[in-house]
């Protein structure tokens, strides 16, 4: 299960690792890179495509899609529609990440706990 979460969040983890390295937090950047080691490039592409609707229709739902709540899934309240869209998008992300998590080789102890 943890491997599915790593694959699902591989793109934000890599972006955070780059930002940490740019800000001088090399230890954090190294740990984040080690956490995502072994994830295939195809997982970046596929989960990246799923992250787009997750951001627009899930996380930022009130900004982009809150215009007509009467016909929205989870409506008529903003909170209900937001939770419904976020849950559906996260479920899709996990469903897409699961095959890549099975395909990913298990981490060794040195990969789980990288030296600083």
pLDDT at 116: 55
Q: Supply the pTM of this predicted model.
A: 0.67
Helix (H, G, I), strand (E, B) or coil at 46: helix
| Domain total in the chain | 1
Burial class of 75 by CB neighbour count within 10 A (0 to 12, 13 to 18, 19+): middle
pLDDT at 4: 81
Instruction: List pLDDT tens digits, range 55-113.
Output: 887 778 777 766 666 666 666 777 787 888 888 888 988 898 888 888 766 554 445 55
CA 61 to CA 71: how far, in whole Å?
14
Q: What angle do CA 34, 35, 37 make, to 5 degrees?
A: 60
Segments forming the whole domain that contains residue 87:
2-112
Q: Find the helix or strand (DSSP H, E) in which 34 lies.
A: helix 26-35
């Amino acid at each position: 299960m943890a491997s599915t979460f790593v694959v699902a969040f591989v793109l934000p983890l890599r972006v955070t690792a780059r930002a940490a390295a740019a800000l001088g937090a090399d230890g954090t950047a190294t740990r984040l890179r080690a956490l995502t080691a072994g994830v295939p490039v195809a997982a970046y592409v596929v989960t990246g495509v799923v992250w787009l609707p997750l951001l627009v229709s899930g996380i930022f739902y009130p900004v982009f899609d809150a215009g007509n709540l009467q016909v929205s899934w989870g409506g008529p309240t903003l909170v209900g529609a937001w939770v419904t869209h976020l849950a559906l998008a996260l479920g899709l992300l996990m469903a897409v990440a699961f095959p890549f998590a099975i395909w990913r080789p298990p981490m060794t102890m040195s990969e789980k706990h990288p030296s600083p």
